[in-house]
Chain A
Amino acid sequence: MKKIMIRFTLNGEKYEREVFPNMRVLDFLRNEMGMRSVKEGCSEGECGACTVIYNGRAVTSCTMLAGQIDGGEIITLEGLSNKGELDVLQQSFMEEGAVQCGYCTPGMILSAKALLMHNPTPTHDEVRRAISGNLCRCTGYVKIVKAIEMASQKIAQE
C-alpha cells in the first residue's frame, strides 16, 4: 500500500505528513499528531465524541480517511486555547457546570464553536440543533445548552 502525502493546517499551523491511506482522521489526529482531545466513542459517526472542525464545519473524524484532510484546515479542542488563555466556550462550560465525565465535551465544544463561527447569535433552538449530533450520557444537556448561550452572549458583548 503506497503512502500518501497530506498537507493541512492544524490549529493554525501548517503540516506535511506521509500516512498510510487506510488510517482514519480520528487515529491520525490522536496518534500521529498528539491531539488526544479527539475521543473515540461509537466509531460510526453516531455519537459525535470524535467531532473536529474541518474547513469551518463540524465533522465526525471516525468516518473520514486521513487523505480527506489534504488541503484542509482542522481545528481540535487544543486549538481553542491561546497560550494558556481559554476560549470563551471553554470558560462557559466550566462556569455553567456543563462538564461531568468530560468525554463528550471536546466534541460538544467544537460543534458549538462551529455554530458560533457561522452564527454568533444563535437562538435556543439553533443551539440545540447544532449539538444534536453529540450524545451526552451524564448531563441531560441543559447546562451544555446554557453554557453555549452564555458564551454567545459574552461574545456579543465584546
Chain B
Amino acid sequence: MKEFEYYNPKSVAETLNILENTKNNNRIIAGGTDVLLMMNDGRIGPDHVINIQGVGELKYIVIEKSLVRIGAASTFTDVEQNEYIKKKIKGLYEACAHVGSPQIRNLGTVGGNVINASVAGDSISVFLSLGANLIIRSSKGKRKISLREYYNGGNQTRIQPDELLTEIQFKKPDNGVANAFFKLGKRNALAIVDIGAAVTICRNAEQTCTSAKIIGGALSRYPLEFTKVQEYLIGKKINRQTFANTYEMLQEAVYESIKDRPMEVYYKQEAVRGTFDVAFEDILRQYEERSDWNEENYDSIYLERRKV
C-alpha cells in the first residue's frame, strides 16, 4: 500500500481542521471497508488518511418530533440494532441488515455508503426513497443538500476535499407512511446487489396513496427513480392490484436504463417485477398491522454516543 500520513481525530472540529490542511490529497475512513480495498489495489493513493472512527460526535441515531437524524459514522450494525428503525422504518432496517456480512456491518458506516456511492450501495436507495438530506460541514461552514441532488447535480454538489459528511436526515415517517426494501442477490449474505427495491408510500385515511417514492438500486449509475410509477400510484387505492399494474412500467424503465448492457438487461427487466413485488407485499403487510401501533412508545429514542 502506498505510504501516507495518518490522523486520528477525536472531534468534528479537529477533523475539519485536518481536512483543511490536507485538502490536496486526503481521504476519510469511517470503517474503511471500501476505501482500504481501493488503496490496496492502487485505485486511489491518498497522501493523508483521516480515521473518523473515534469521533463519537458522529455516531448517533436520534428520533426527533419530525426528523430522524443519523450520524454519518453510525455503522450498519448501529442502524440494524435500533429498535425504532427496526419497527417503524423497515426498509432502512432491511437494507442495513443485509449489507455484506456481520463483520462488514460492524465496520461499515451509512456515511461511507452514501459518499462512496457504489452502484451496488444498498442504504443509498432507501435513503433516497425517504427523501433524505445530507449535512456537510467544512471549516468554512455548513451546507444541506438533498441526496437526490447530491448524486444528480454533478461534481459541484459532491463532497470536496475539505468537507465532512456529518449527518443523514429525513422526515420522520408518520402513521400513514410505510417504507420497505428488498435486495435481490445471488446469495443470502456476502451478496452484491443485483436489484435493490426501495419503496416509501404515504397513504391517507381512505387508503389512497398521497405520495410515493419508488427507487431501484443497481439499475443505473445512481439509484433509479421510477417517476412514471410514482405518478401512477398517486390517488390510487393501495392494494395488490394497484401494485401489479406497475410491473410493465418498472420493466420499461429498467430497459431504458440498461438497454446497452446485454449481460444485464434481459435478466433485470424480468427480475425487477418479482423484486419490487416483495417490497410491495411488505408495504401491504405493514399497513395491515398498523391498527395496534402505539406511537408514544417510540418517540425520542436515543442511541448512546459511543466512545470507541
Interface residues of chain A, those whose CB is within 8 Å of chain B, are 1-2, 4, 20-24, 43-46, 48, 51, 54-55, 57-60, 63-65, 67-68, 70-72, 111, 114, 129-130, 132-135
Q: Which of these, B8, B51, B102, contacts A111 with CB under 8 Å? A: B102
A71 to B308, CA, bound (A): 8
Q: What number of residue pairs across chains A and B have CB atoms under 8 A from each other? A: 99
Q: Which of these, A22, A51, A63, A71, contacts B3 with CB under 8 Å? A: A22
Q: In the complex, which residue of chain B has the Cβ closest to the Cβ of A61?
A: B103
Q: In the complex, which residue of chain B has the Cβ closest to the Cβ of A50?
A: B103
Q: Which of these, A54, A65, A71, contacts B49 with CB under 8 Å? A: A65
A22–B1 touching, CB < 8 Å: yes
Considering only CB atoms and an 8 Å cut-off, how many residues of chain B contact the other chain? 31
A75 to B18, CA, bound (A): 32
A65–B189 touching, CB < 8 Å: no
A71–B107 touching, CB < 8 Å: no
Interface residues of chain B, those whose CB is within 8 Å of chain A, are 1-6, 8, 29, 31-33, 36-37, 39-40, 49, 51, 53-54, 77, 100-104, 106-107, 188-190, 308
Q: Which of these, B1, B31, B103, contacts A133 with CB under 8 Å? A: B103
Q: How far is the CB of B305 from chain A (nearest CB, A)?
A: 15
A114 to B4, CA, bound (A): 32
User: Which residues from A are CB-within-8-Å of B106?
Assistant: 54, 57-59
User: Which residues from B are CB-within-8-Å of A59?
Assistant: 103, 106-107
Q: Which of these, B1, B32, B40, B104, contacts A68 with CB under 8 Å? A: B32
User: Which residues from A are CB-within-8-Å of B104?
Assistant: 45, 60, 63, 133
